Amino acid sequence: MLAHGSGGKLAHELVESSFLKALANPLLAKLDDSAVFNFSGRLAFTTDSYVVSPIFFPGGDIGKLAVCGTVNDLAMSGAKPLYLSLSFIIEEGLPQGELSQVVDSIQKAAQEAGVEIVTGDTKVVHRGSADKLFINTAGVGIIPEGVDISGNNARSGDKVILSGAIGDHGIAVLSRREGLSFSTQLESDCAPLGGLVADMLAASSNIHSLRDPTRGGLATTLNELAKQSRVSIRIEEEKVLVRDEVLAACEMLGFDPLYVANEGKLVAIVPPEDTDKVLKVMRENHYGKEAAIIGEVRAEHPGRVVMKTCLGSSRIIDMLVGDILPRIC
Amino acid sequence: MRFIQEFRSSELAKGLISRIHQKSKTQARFMEFCGGHTVTIFRYGIRQVLPKTLEMLSGPGCPVCVTANVDLDKAIALAQIPDVIITTFGDMLKVPGSHSSLQEVNASGADIRMVYSTMDALNLAEENPTKSVVFIGIGFETTAPIIAASILQAEERRIRNYYILSMHKLCPPVIRAILESGEVKLHGLICPGHVSAIIGSHPWEFIARDYGISCVISGFEPIDVLQCVDMLVAQIESGQSKVEIAYRRGVHPEGNQQALKLMKQVFEPCPAQWRGIGEVPDSSLKLKKEYQHFDAELAFDIDPGPTYEPVGCICGDILRGVKTPLDCSLFGKDCTPQYPIGPCMVSSEGSCSAYYLYGEGFEG
């Protein structure tokens, strides 16, 4: 068990025993106040804090999420993710074993993503001041020459590609939440997407926008893109892949899968002439094998997202407001 | 059979839609009673694909929406009593009462837990013997049996710190009240699916018999609703009014006998206040005498203070089917899902929320 305020020695031991060994690399091993490295080119820099509850869920844990989330934010700018920082805020009483498990999955995720953890920090706070474990990661990556990806770049006529099924992460996490647990075979889709994006950029340097539909789901991401680029987006319900397990859980809870979080999916806005080649390389990648064109960008009604339903009618897809709450009946 | 995708098939939908267009000759007005149906109708744009002969109205079938402020205020006042843990279904949290909402009093320190089952609330009571756990008993005939079951369990497990605040509503009496008022002229009623799974089809027969209104019990997928509309049109065109079940996979004519038995054992009918409709006799459930020690209203001194209704909000008229959200001057301007004023905008099954989220009346 980790206790608060035991001073420098214990913290030092924690860093030595848990982190340095698992995350070993020359930059981190120096233990200087800052990681120092050389860079040339255009830099992408991002940060995110992870407070998921429960910290372990089917298909991942808070550690894997903290690496993948930040790696994916870098990748969505077209950057090749390189280095991450890692800060822990630990509630006293967290079993050492659980922390080790988290560090272990951080190591595995970082290895898969091809990034190094080069600096970090650990704080242990009083019981009740945090919920088990909070993690912040920041990351930097290099944007290749000629790549210009932004939520502003969607143009009328572009195609909208979705890399796979939606809602897996949100439902997997919810299935383990206190007071709501239900059994499902479903696992979180939590995955680092740097490799997938690299393959896509190799196929086309003219990808206009990339975004990972995390909190707020696909609906919120499409709305952000439509508003930022001042275009409308039309998607087709039948093209959006939702697994049976997700559909069933959403029916039970009264959720719309379009608003449920993903942690290993991306939306790409691609000019029509490059769509086929981008789709081809996506489908050859493990994390994009179910990729499909789900709709297109149009000029009229800027900021609006419309979905053609399975009945052939249309409806507006709005942003998520607040949290989604389970319904009564 | 997976019971979801089959009922969203575009092929089946096309067939049903063209059949309805061919069959429907007479101008007719249908009301979907249930908020679940309202959501399906808007989410799949069903109004857009129906012929001009058919007018669709949304009814009062959203348990959150029809809960009167006076009852909401009681729940909120209960939450502020020391050592009380409020347990509730998620939808209730955001609904504004006269002065506040459960979510707001939660943020200022009241202990409010969202649960998915009454059994979770019961377990919470067992784990917290020094606290009083109150379950907010809201919902129609669908949720009443599980609350009755929790009362019997509490009795069996000798849990003495578990209470319910009964705000149940019964569907057939309120439909009678709406039809008796004569405000809305209906030709067909899309009867609730899950309520009917409990009570069966017989309790709706008075609507067909006494008011000459065609009734079809529907499921909640788009194909279910289209099939239901098709059956209603068939009744109208052949001059019939009877109760039919389109939702065969969920509803038996006799209902769920076990659930009905539980309800009858624990509850008895009593009058209730409905938002926008007023007091309706025998439209709620209260605990029978032998179970009154579980009644939160008797166990606690609840002082909800004076009741206020939001100025300008027409949720009451919308619930009676007299007006639509588009008639409300607050809709989409002062009242949005982010900053809701009336309950029909808060609840995921409310008409205002459905109109707003799915863009009813939008062009393009």
**What local confidence, expressed as pLDDT, does residue A81 receive?**
97
Find the angle CA(A182)-CA(B102)-CA(B133) to the nearest 5 degrees: 65
**Mean pLDDT of the region B47-51:** 95
**What local confidence, expressed as pLDDT, does residue B364 receive?**
46
DSSP-based three-state secondary structure for B222: helix
Instruction: Tell me the pLDDT band of A239, cut-offs 50, 70 and 90.
Output: very high
Share of chain B above pLDDT 90, in %: 84
Residue A315 to residue B45, Cβ atoms within 8 A: yes
Yes or no: say if A155 and A271 are a contact pair by the CB < 8 Å rule.
Answer: yes
Yes or no: say if A287 and A164 are a contact pair by the CB < 8 Å rule.
Answer: yes
Residue B5 to residue A316, Cβ atoms within 8 A: no
Short-list A243, A288, A248, A247, CA closest to A270: A288
Short-list A261, A275, A188, A251, CA closest to A221: A261
**What local confidence, expressed as pLDDT, does residue B42 receive?**
93
Instruction: Tell me the pLDDT band of B360, cut-offs 50, 70 and 90.
Output: low
A318 → chain B, closest CA residue: B357
**What local confidence, expressed as pLDDT, does residue A323 receive?**
64
Lowest mean pLDDT among B212-216, B282-286, B331-335: B331-335
Residue B48 to residue A314, Cβ atoms within 8 A: yes
Residue A311 to residue B348, Cβ atoms within 8 A: no
Residue B222 to residue A321, Cβ atoms within 8 A: no
| pLDDT tops 80 at residue B285 | yes
User: What is each CA distance from A284 to A168, A210, A277, A302, in whole angstroms?
Assistant: 21, 18, 11, 34
Q: Which residue has the higher pLDDT, A2 or A109?
A: A109
B160-213 pLDDT, tens digit each: 999 999 999 999 999 999 999 999 999 999 999 999 999 999 999 999 999 999
**Mean pLDDT of the region B272-297:** 95
User: What is each CA distance from A34 to A31, A95, A121, A178, B356, in whole angstroms?
Assistant: 8, 29, 11, 39, 50
Domains of chain B: 1-62+171-252+309-364 (3.40.50.11750), 68-168+256-299 (3.40.50.11740)
Q: A with B: how many residue pairs have Cβ under 8 Å apart?
A: 107
| pLDDT tops 90 at residue A10 | no
Q: What is the DSSP string of B108-155?
A: TT-EEEE-SSHHHHHHHHHH-TTSEEEEEEEESTTTHHHHHHHHHHHH
**What local confidence, expressed as pLDDT, does residue A147 receive?**
93
A29-78 pLDDT, tens digit each: 777 888 888 888 899 999 999 999 899 999 999 999 999 999 999 999 99
**What local confidence, expressed as pLDDT, does residue A25 receive?**
83
A120-173 pLDDT, tens digit each: 888 999 999 999 999 999 999 999 999 999 999 999 999 999 999 999 999 999
**What local confidence, expressed as pLDDT, does residue A181 receive?**
67
Find the angle CA(A299)-CA(A304)-CA(A307) to the nearest 5 degrees: 100
**Which 207-246 residues of chain B touch chain A by CB within 8 A?**
222, 226
Average pLDDT over chain A reads 91
DSSP-based three-state secondary structure for B256: coil
**Mean pLDDT of the region A23-30:** 80
**Mean pLDDT of the region B319-331:** 93
Q: Which residue has the higher pLDDT, A9 or A157?
A: A157
**What local confidence, expressed as pLDDT, does residue A174 receive?**
87
**What local confidence, expressed as pLDDT, does residue B91 receive?**
80
Lowest mean pLDDT among A18-32, A131-145, A304-318, B270-284: A18-32
Cβ-in-10-Å burial (0-12, 13-18, 19+) of B70 comes to middle
Q: Which residue has the higher pLDDT, B188 or B117?
A: B188
Instruction: Name the one residue in this structure whose structure tokens are 């709005």.
Output: A318
| pLDDT tops 80 at residue B150 | yes
**What local confidence, expressed as pLDDT, does residue A328 receive?**
53
| Residues A225, A305: Cα–Cα separation, whole Å | 9
Q: Taking CB atoms and an 8 Å cutoff, what residues of chain B touch A180?
A: 116
B223-276 pLDDT, tens digit each: 999 999 999 999 999 999 999 999 999 999 999 999 999 999 999 999 999 998
* Nearest by CB: B13 against A179, A256, A311: A311
| Residues A71, A79: Cα–Cα separation, whole Å | 9
Q: At what angle do helices A62-75 and A96-113 cross, to 10 degrees?
A: 30
Residue B36 to residue A326, Cβ atoms within 8 A: no
Lowest mean pLDDT among A19-23, A86-90, B293-297, B355-359: A19-23
Q: How many angstroms separate the CA of residue B235 from the nearest CA in chain A? A: 24
Q: How many angstroms separate the CA of residue A179 from the nearest CA in chain B? A: 6
| Residues A322, A154: Cα–Cα separation, whole Å | 27
| Residues B306, B276: Cα–Cα separation, whole Å | 18
* Nearest by CB: B116 against A314, A322, A326: A326
| Residues B343, B142: Cα–Cα separation, whole Å | 20
**What local confidence, expressed as pLDDT, does residue A26 receive?**
81
Yes or no: say if A28 and A149 are a contact pair by the CB < 8 Å rule.
Answer: no
- Point out which residues pair with A117 in neighbouring strands: A84
Residue B364 to residue A315, Cβ atoms within 8 A: no
Query: pTM of the full predicted structure?
Result: 0.86
Residues of A with CB under 8 A from a CB of B: 179-180, 232, 238, 244, 247-248, 251, 253-254, 256, 300-301, 304, 306, 309-316, 318, 321-322, 325-329
- SS3 string, A45-110, reads EEEEEECCCCCEECCEEHHHHHHHHHHHHHHCCCCEEEEEEEEEEEECCCCHHHHHHHHHHHHHHH
| pLDDT tops 80 at residue A20 | no
Domains of chain A: 7-143 (3.30.1330.10), 159-316 (3.90.650.10)
Q: What would the two tokens of residue B56 be?
A: 């669709």
Q: How much is the ipTM here?
A: 0.78
Which value, in Å, is the radius of gyration of the alpha carbons in chain B? 21
Residue B52's contacts (CB-CB under 8 Å, 6 or more residues apart) are none
Share of chain A above pLDDT 70, in %: 92
A248-307 pLDDT, tens digit each: 888 888 789 999 999 999 999 999 999 999 999 999 999 999 999 999 999 999 999 999
| pLDDT tops 80 at residue A216 | yes
Give B343-346 contacts, CB < 8 A, sequence gap 24+.
B343/B62, B343/B64, B343/B65, B343/B67, B343/B95, B343/B96, B343/B275, B343/B315, B344/B62, B344/B65, B344/B315, B344/B318, B344/B319, B346/B64, B346/B91, B346/B94, B346/B95, B346/B96
